[in-house]
Chains A and B, each alone.
Chain A
């Protein structure tokens, strides 16, 4: 790759980042938010401004890497940090992909195609402007598969180890991706089988031979296990270590997965991605068997990509693993709709295959024409997927972008936070950020909030009048009511305990009520 081309790619990536930042801040101004974004903002503020034991927040907030990816930008603007991170991150994704492309293919057509996708594809714009961690998942997913493909060519431990490291990063960007490991078993077996020194060429017969000969069987199993270990021991071990840290510092191995204080997924999956929510609205919700088909509809380019590797068994098996992943996720988390990011994986994967294989196709004109048409179709399908999404935060994104309609829920969060911001710095408000992170993230001085990460929280819950003058209560209408103890029942409880308490409603929205306690 020439130096000038690198320079142009850097310049274009910067321009792309500015373009994304513009859209992201514009949407933010219009009021588009999502759980993940708000969660990161609040946790970032706790780390920067909070008082008390912040270790759990620092070490056990999950997913860890997107959180810190966002936190880095909180020094520029705490509220815009997630969207700045996603905008810049998506531009970096473009740069990484473009660099890989330029190294392998001198034809600029493919570069323009990639640029067109990044500028226009609604899914990638959503990735860049939503403030979610999709950008990070896509980056590590791309790098993982890129290195796996390079491993098939180079056959060196280097590429497989690097792939493994990227897989660790991928898992720490989205824990669910660990299940991808399951679908590599046939692939690894195929690699091992192929490497055995047998005269038989057909895979089935090779398998038959090697399983019926003790020596060959031992070799096959050893090699399969070794390759599998070298790819997946690091991510599995990393998760194990992380679980030990959760155990030692939160007394729960799965704290990072199951506690609403550690991850935004619990709440979001229950209320945003739940299939039960959408089942009533749609006659045919997502069915596991149709998910793969839906992925192909979303990204027809993947079919072409598989075709490009038609004579390479490893590569085809590799390309099939994400299908296995989404099918598995659909079965394992049957009550949850697949979010947009899992469909975007196929777009990235398809582009990776184009990057790898396009130059080997003789009929370039035909390929280019096909790709142009497919990309145009994909842009439209991407738009349809976003606007018709079952998931509110995705369809909201499209509606805010197209209709400039703001999010009502977030307006309420901002409204109550604005009121809290008017209180004196010496006032203290008891807040349970399991659900109220969406309010806490807008509070300017987070020191005024007493939250569960602080040691004084439990005492404050027991005797709020002694510790805090105020308490933020989730109303009956608040969908996340079941995830917090600071509800009307709580107020009744402390009233029963202390009849002398005077509790006044200070500020009320549909979802929140701020009480003053005397």
Chain B
């Protein structure tokens, strides 16, 4: 049904018309149908005043009414929800409205037709927007009612270009040196090819000697890197019982004085997880009106959008549609979401994440305690489906030592922390100042952690956990891991463009830590199979050629380093079970060398992609786990 707004509504008493949702005929319908109560209307009015969004936006995004009920009420009253995606639009008309305003009001004027402004609205009785149209265009609006999700989709598609360009190019323009758009700089290419050339020349001139040097270097590097990891784990394990924020500190927080908290939920084709996501978000212990939850959906992701549309219970998040622009990466979506975020703090969760219920309050308490230069707090990640299969068990061991031991170790030693993919909580203003995430980096989180250190900021680690879904499928795992390893390579290349400058910024300790932690990790996975191959050829098959090439002392050192390295890594994995009492996993630590071979496969894939397709985002499929019960997450 196309409706024309009744005239004479621009009155002098605009306050009353604009501020109370009861003045809207649509809300009267909802009240009449029993989908809203008086108390809820009061709350909607309050939230609307505080947040500045339209009543309908508040009602649909803060858990007051489900979209289905909303549509049911309006349809019963004779409204028809039009499919607006193919509606024609006039750039001149669109040029007079900003996306933020359209997004707040869930309305957008499209074109002028028959001396009227064709306007799409979720609430056809939104007087403020109707008056805006009249004042801006000097014409009466012709209102088309549509679903808020379609309006959001259309408005972001038509008006979001400025913001999406900013999301993609902001870092590149403001801090070119930190962008991964250029994968290899000329200097790095010269260095890499010179290095390869020298080895090739060495092999031609003196094959044996060069092989010996390369072998010894690789095996010593292997052991040293793993020893460093063990060292970090030991340092971290010293504080395993330390509570950065205690329960009493959380209890002492006053709900009214809490800041607005933005949560970004970047999703892509995660339709299966939407219901679960809402359950998880609802259990977060934080005042609802102070949460600013953004579900970031790609423009071409109808699956997820429809899943949200089909929810038969109220949603508690706001949908942001990210217009199409390459590269199609999670950091780009998050950067885009930043334009519409209003929190003091911001965090990111994946769709399947189950954060500790008190996580946000804990972080607020933590930020209150920390000095100003701390701009980010990283929570631990772990898995709720750890006992599903071999892969999930190994993943759990890995994450446990990483987040429970290694990151606190880095934190203690004041070495740059490569942030985890989710549950990193930022001060929003400083995040924006820092240039936000690099959309060209496929491990934007790790990169951001290092960049934050390089710019003089600090990152802390907190005793709160988010439970995720461990990848339980081999090929899915390889895809995900190849992206991570490629991202580490990207991050390393970006920050090593000028090593001297990096040393000046993060100090020699931070520099070494960065090299042995971020740089060495992919290299280690690349050389591991070579060392194992030599070991098998020598010890198992006793190939004569190995003895001919390598003298005894080289083989002695190589075997020692390889075996000790692997044992230490098994040990580090074993340590991981203690903090979380996953004792049943300890034997699986022995399988770490096999798990590392899988890493090597992913590392070679990542290296190949780094060269041929550096910005390609290998999508990890979520929702494969059969374990979806939150109770599985051991707190």
- Min Cβ gap B572→A in Å is 9
**B238 contacts partner chain A, Cβ-Cβ < 8 Å:** yes
Which B residues are in CB contact (< 8 Å) with A374? none
Residues from chain A with a CB closer than 8 A to the CB of B556 are 55, 59, 245, 248-249
The B-contacting residues of A in range 217-253, CB under 8 angstroms, are 218-219, 222-223, 225-226, 229-230, 233-234, 237-238, 241, 244-245, 248-249
CA distance A249 to B234 in the complex (A): 33
- A225 x B559 contact (CB < 8 A): no
Q: A26-34, A157-165, A443-451: which lies at the B interface?
A: A157-165
Given the complex of chains A and B, what is the CA–CA distance between A58 and B567 in angstroms? Answer: 22
Contact A244 B234 (CB under 8 A): no
Q: Nearest residue in A to B242 (C-beta to C-beta)?
A: A156
Say yes or no for A154: interface residue by CB 8 A criterion: yes
Partner of A55, one of B234, B552, B578, B579: B552
A155:B574 contact, CB within 8 angstroms: no
- State whether A219 and B571 are in contact (beta carbons under 8 Å apart), knowing that A158-B234, A226-B577 are contacts in the complex: no
Complex Cα distance A33/B104, Å?
91
Please judge, given known A-B contacts A223-B583, A226-B577, A238-B567, whether A55 and B240 are in contact too, CB under 8 Å: no
Interface SS, B side? helix
0/1 string, B558-602, CB within 8 A of A gives 1: 011001100100110011011101011011000000000000000
Q: Does A313 have its Cβ within 8 Å of any Cβ on chain B?
A: no
Q: Which residues of B contact A156 (CB under 8 A)?
A: 237-241
Contacting pair A229 B234 (CB below 8 A): no
Range for the number of chain A residues in contact with chain B: 20 to 34
For A123-162 the 0/1 string (1 means CB < 8 A from B) is: 0000000000000000000000000000000111110111
Given contacts A157-B575, A161-B234, A230-B575, A241 and B567 within 8 Å (CB-CB): yes
- Residues of B within 8 Å of A225, CB to CB, are 583, 586-587
A residues near B564, Cβ cutoff 8 Å: 238, 241
A245 to B562, CA, bound (A): 12
Residues of B within 8 A of A55 (CB): 552-553, 556
Q: Is the CB of A248 within 8 A of B555?
A: yes
In the bound complex, how far is the Cα of B237 from the Cα of A160, in angstroms?
10
Bin the interface of chain B by size: 20 to 34
Complex CA–CA separation, A58 to B240 (angstroms): 39
B564's nearest neighbour on chain A, judged by CB, is A241
Query: How far, in Å, is B316 (CB) from chain A's closest CB?
Result: 36
Q: Given A55-B552, A241-B564, A241-B567, A155 and B583 touching (CB < 8 A)?
A: no
- Chain B 251-266, CB within 8 Å of chain A: the 1/0 string? 0000000000000000
Q: Is B539 an interface residue (CB 8 A)?
A: yes
The residues of A that contact B538 with a CB separation of less than 8 Å are: 248
Is the beta-carbon distance between A229 and B586 smaller than 8 angstroms? yes
Q: Are A234 and B571 in contact (CB under 8 A)?
A: yes
Tell me if A53 is interfacial: C-beta within 8 Å of chain B. Answer: yes
Partner of B560, one of A219, A233, A245: A245
| Cβ A158 vs Cβ B555 within 8 A | no
**Tally of A-B Cβ pairs under 8 angstroms:** 82
Which of A155, A158, A162, A219 has most B Cβ within 10 Å?
A: A158
With a cutoff of 8 Å between Cβ atoms, the chain B residues found around residue A244 in the complex are 539, 559, 563
CB–CB B552/A222 < 8 A:
no
Residue of A158, A219, A249 touching B237 (CB-CB under 8 A): A158
- A162: chain B residues within 8 A (beta carbon): 234
A155 to B239, CA, bound (A): 11
Q: Are A161 and B237 in contact (CB under 8 A)?
A: yes
Residues from chain A with a CB closer than 8 A to the CB of B563 are: 241, 244
Give A231 Cβ to nearest chain B Cβ, in Å. 10
The CA of A138 and the CA of B585, in the complex, are separated in Å by 35
Check A230/B552 contact, CB under 8 A, given A155-B241, A157-B240, A248-B538: no
Contact residues in B for A248 (Cβ distance below 8 Å)? 538-539, 555-556, 559
Q: Are A226 and B586 neighbours in the complex by a CB distance under 8 Å?
A: yes
With a cutoff of 8 Å between Cβ atoms, the chain B residues found around residue A219 in the complex are 583
Q: A223-B583, A226-B583, A233-B571 are in contact. Are A158 and B577 (CB under 8 A)?
A: no
Q: A233-B570, A233-B574 are in contact. Are A154 and B241 (CB under 8 A)?
A: yes
- The interface residues of chain A lying within 8 Å CB-to-CB of B539 are 244, 248
Residues in chain B near residue A160, CB distance under 8 A = 578
User: B222-241 toward A: CB 8 Å interface, digit per residue (1/0)?
Assistant: 00000000000110011111
Q: How far is the CA of A222 from the CA of B577 in the complex (A)?
A: 11
Separation of A53 and B579 alpha carbons in the complex (Å): 47
**Provided the pairs A55-B552, A55-B556 are in contact, do residues A222 and B584 lie with their beta carbons within 8 angstroms?**
yes
Residues of chain A within 8 A (CB-CB) of B578 are 157, 160, 226, 230
Question: CB within 8 Å of A: which of B405-446?
Answer: 405
Could you say which of B405, B581, B583 has the most chain A C-beta atoms within 10 Å of its C-beta? Answer: B583
Cβ–Cβ < 8 Å partners of B577 in chain A = 226
- Whether A157 touches B579, Cβ cut-off 8 Å, given contacts A55-B553, A248-B559, A249-B556, is yes
Residues of A within 8 A of B579 (CB): 157
Query: Bound complex: CA of A237 vs CA of B570, how far in Å?
Result: 10
A59 vs B552: C-alpha distance when bound (angstroms): 11
Q: How far is the CB of A161 from chain B (nearest CB, A)?
A: 6
Nearest neighbor of A54 in chain B, beta-carbon distance: B553
* Contact mask for chain B residues 529-560; partner A; CB cutoff 8 A; 1 contact, 0 none: 00000000011000000000000110110011
The minimal Cβ–Cβ distance linking A327 to chain B, given in whole angstroms, is 30
Q: Is the CB of A241 within 8 A of B552?
A: no
Contact flags A70-85 to B (C-beta < 8 A → 1, else 0): 0000000000000000
CA distance A113 to B583 in the complex (A): 43
Please give, as numbers and ranges, the residues of chain A lying within 8 Å of B584 by CB-CB distance. Answer: 218, 222
Q: Which of A161, A237, A244 has the most CB of B within 10 A?
A: A161
Assess A157 versus B583: contact at CB under 8 Å? Given A55-B556, A59-B556. no
| Chain B residue at smallest Cβ distance from A56 | B552
Using a CB-CB cutoff of 8 Å, which residues 42-74 of chain A contact chain B? Answer: 53, 55, 58-59
CB proximity of A67 to chain B, nearest CB, Å: 16
Whether B575 and A53, one on each chain, are in contact in the complex, defined by CB atoms closer than 8 angstroms, is no
Q: How far is the CA of A446 from the CA of B584 in the complex (A)?
A: 56
Q: For residue A58, which residues in chain B have a CB less than 8 angstroms away from its CB?
A: 553
- In Å, the complex CA distance between A226 and B238 comes to 18
B571 to A, closest residue via Cβ: A234
Contacts of A233 on B, CB cut-off 8 Å?
570-571, 574
In the complex, the answer to whether B583 meets A222 with C-beta atoms within 8 Å is yes
Separation of A209 and B405 alpha carbons in the complex (Å)? 34
A64, chain B: closest CB distance, angstroms = 12
Rounded to whole angstroms, the CA-CA distance of A158 and B405 in the bound complex is 10
Across-interface contacts of B555 in A (CB, < 8 A): 248-249
Question: Which B residues lie within 8 Å of A59 (CB)?
Answer: 556, 560
Tell me the bound Cα distance from A91 to B587 in angstroms. Answer: 41
A241: nearest chain-B partner, CB-CB = B563
**Chain B residues within an 8 Å CB radius of A223:** 581, 583
Per-position binary interface string of chain A over residues 367-395, scored 1 when its CB falls under 8 Å from any chain B CB and 0 otherwise: 00000000000000000000000000000
Question: Interface centre among A226, A233, A244, by most B CB within 10 Å?
Answer: A226
When distances are taken between beta carbons in the complex, the residues of chain B under 8 Å from A249 are 552, 555-556
> Closest chain A residue to B557 by CB distance?
A59
Shortest C-beta distance, B563 to chain A (Å), equals 4
B171: min CB distance to chain A, Å: 39
Q: Provide the bound-state CA to CA distance between A465 and B564, in Å.
A: 45
Contact assessment for A241 and B560 in the assembled complex, using a CB-CB cutoff below 8 Å: yes
Cα distance A252–B419 when bound, in Å?
A: 48
21 inter-chain pairs at a CB distance below 8 angstroms, sorted by A residue, are: A55-B556, A59-B556, A156-B240, A157-B405, A158-B234, A160-B578, A161-B237, A218-B584, A223-B583, A225-B583, A226-B574, A226-B583, A230-B571, A230-B575, A233-B570, A237-B567, A238-B567, A248-B538, A248-B539, A248-B559, A249-B552
Q: A218-B584, A226-B574, A249-B552 are in contact. List 4 more A-B contacts (CB 8 A).
A: A58-B553, A156-B238, A230-B575, A241-B560
* B interface residue numbers (CB < 8 A to A): 233-234, 237-241, 405, 538-539, 552-553, 555-556, 559-560, 563-564, 567, 570-571, 574-575, 577-579, 581, 583-584, 586-587
The 7 closest A-B pairs by CB, nearest first: A222-B583, A158-B237, A158-B238, A226-B583, A157-B237, A157-B578, A241-B563
